[in-house]
Structure 1
């Protein structure tokens, strides 16, 4: 029996041999790419291939980075912080500018006082 490929909106999935692992083939920037989907189940292969489509269709690096972070689980849901807890949350962040934070903290406190007066 012949091996059947399934066409998707971008690319297609196919097994190399009957009963073997599925692969996803697509074309990006004029080059053909093939990615192993690490499954022998056709339905699971379709699901995994569909996860690649937004990344392939993305037009900018920021969009691609957001898709990759979400797929790897690095993206976290945004949470609401009360205005009084914002500075404490910022001061714990590892990427903050350490020497300049004292001046920024004073400006933030003045801004918070201004908002409370309104």
Structure 2
């Protein structure tokens, strides 16, 4: 008995080939697209296909870019840093400019003192 495809809210998944690798097929602007999910496990294929749905349903390029960054792990949660901890956070960053940061640190401290006086 052949394994049938599974319909999702957008598109469907189906196994293909001798290894029965699952693929996700969907339609964008009247064109059919097929993406390999690179798994033979049906539950894992469903999970991977569900990750594509928000990207496919997105209406603007900004929303799509945000979803792609989130999926690739580029997007990180924003932190609320107190002004007193900003320099310590910056000084621990691996991409900081070094040794030119001594002057910037002095300027930052002066700026902080100015803000505290206001």
**TM-score, length of structure 2 as denominator length:** 0.73
CA contact (8 A) 1:15 1:21 kept: yes
1:5 Cα deviation from its structure 2 partner: 0.2
| Structure 1: gaps spanning 5 or more residues | none
Q: SS in structure 1 opposite 2:62?
A: helix
Alignment of 1:1-118 (within 5 A): 1-17=1-17, 20-86=20-86, 116-117=116-117
With 70-79 and 100-109 compared, the bigger mean Cα shift is at 100-109
The alpha-carbon distance between structure 1 residues 18 and 99, as it changes in their structure 2 partners (threshold 3 A), is: closer
1:2 Cα deviation from its structure 2 partner: 2.2
Q: Distance in 1 between matches of 2:87 and 2:60?
A: 32
CA contact (8 A) 1:55 1:64 kept: yes
CA contact (8 A) 1:3 1:17 kept: no
Q: Distance in 1 between matches of 2:96 and 2:37?
A: 39
1:116 Cα deviation from its structure 2 partner: 3.2
1:108 Cα deviation from its structure 2 partner: 8.3
Q: Give CA-to-partner distance per residue, 1:52-97, whole Å, 9 cap, x none.
A: 0010011111111111111111111111211234477679999999
**TM-score, length of structure 1 as denominator length:** 0.73
| Structure 2: gaps spanning 5 or more residues | none
With 76-85 and 29-38 compared, the bigger mean Cα shift is at 76-85
How many pairs were matched up? 118
